[in-house]
Amino acid sequence: MSTQAQDRPAPPPVSGSWEALLAEARNLAMRDDERAGARYELLISRLLKLPAERRNANDFRMQRMLEECLLTLQSFLARRNRLEEAIDLYADQVNHVFDADARSVWNERRALMLSWLGRDDESLSTMTLVQAENPWDISLRWRMFEMHRKQGKREAMARLIDDLEKLIDGLEQGKISVPVDELGSLDTQQGLVRYLKMMQAIEQGEWQAAYNFFVEAAKISSAYKESWFQLFRLLVLNGEAKLANRALNREQSLASQGFWRGLNGYYQGDKAGSRVEWERVTRIPMDDLLMRSAADWVLAHYYLGDPKRHGLQLTLRLIESLRQNQDPLIIALAGLGWAIHGEYGHLRTNIEFAIGQLRGSFASNKLLEFNWYFFRDLLPAEEFAQIEQYFEKPRGRGKRTVGSNQ
């Protein structure tokens, strides 16, 4: 077969076929068109009427289509904050339609949405069942831990860590066996234990212990070796300046290190030193940035007033270039950039759109806690008061009184 033939695009689906209907629904969803919901509803209702044998024929062709439609519609509703509808969606049928893996995804999402609605007991009971079925799933265990942490359930946090340690001990002693694809990396599991202990220590105000636990995690697992931001952000925002600087020494990105070192000094009253750090960051060429450092580069410009609008320009460029995989933080920072220049019209719109993205991916129902500080620092008090409800707020620790709005 020639290269030319191999590169030939697949023919479009036949009009009126299942594939054509699904392609139409996908296109509408990609454009965030309200009609997408009705298209998915139509497909689901028709597919559910088919006998299971027909859905499973041809390598589960229609079954996979049905699962995609259900999961996409659930996300479509969540993004629009139609959480009750998303939670109850085909509740009497999904357990019979999905296999075990798809059921876990579905119920994990339901647990998260229940927590967003403040239905904590239902949320935890649902997540507990999902996590028990997938004891080695790192993401699930972390989400479960976060639910307990946000509800102030320290004993439950400790039990979750203890349970994982016992599982790892059983595995190492040969008392239990786990398929490799289910376990993942044992080093990563052991790193997770230290990471969760770090978060537990932070909740108790034991900052040196938290630092030590993360050092252990970084030594044990490559998953944490390049993720020092998970520690130094918390240290900076909670006023642990010396430990923060030690953690920042491990950060490989000059943009991230410089922004957060500047913010660390800023919160300690060293505004001249902070300015030096942030100006150094702004001199890093845009094309030399790592994607994960883009927000820190933008924020360095913002804390300096962004006089040439370089920070705002990067957010707009990223939004345009990453249309199919937009970062909610970058979207929110674009609104903040406009507001810094006195143009507040985009602020709430961008934040609401960013939160819609977070909901649709089941990441969160609000902008994460660390973002609260940036918007609080850089906006006038009356403007920040109008949007504060969109952020997870610091819970009794690290509530600083610095910034232009104080």
Q: What is the DSSP letter of 284?
A: S
pLDDT over 60 (residue 217): yes
Average pLDDT over residues 358-376: 95
pLDDT over 60 (residue 386): yes
- Residue 326, helix vs strand vs coil: coil
Nearest Cα residue to 234 out of 206, 193, 254, 194: 206
Question: Angle, nearest 10°, between helix axes 241-248 and 207-220?
Answer: 10
Q: How far is CA 366 from the centre of its chain?
A: 10
pLDDT over 90 (residue 385): yes
Q: What is the pLDDT of residues 30-79, one digit of tens each?
A: 888 899 999 999 999 999 999 999 999 999 999 999 999 999 999 999 99
Q: How far is CA 41 from the centre of its chain?
A: 27
- C-alpha to C-alpha distance for 323 and 286, rounded to whole angstroms: 19
What tokens appear for 134 in the block? 């997938």
Burial grade of 138 (CB within 10 A; 0-12, 13-18, 19 or more): middle
Burial grade of 392 (CB within 10 A; 0-12, 13-18, 19 or more): middle
What tokens appear for 214 in the block? 């993360």
- C-alpha to C-alpha distance for 261 and 247, rounded to whole angstroms: 10
- C-alpha to C-alpha distance for 304 and 26, rounded to whole angstroms: 42
Residue ranges in 322-398 assigned as alpha helix (H): 328-340, 345-360, 369-378, 381-387
> Sorting pLDDT into bands at 50, 70 and 90, what band is 11?
low
Please give the pLDDT value at position 347.
Answer: 96
What tokens appear for 164 in the block? 């994982």
Vertex 379: Cα angle to 335 and 381 (nearest 5): 135
pLDDT over 50 (residue 1): no
Other CB atoms within 10 Å distance of the CB of residue 232: 27
What tokens appear for 18 in the block? 């299942």
Other CB atoms within 10 Å distance of the CB of residue 289: 20
pTM score of the predicted model:
0.88
> Sorting pLDDT into bands at 50, 70 and 90, what band is 325?
low
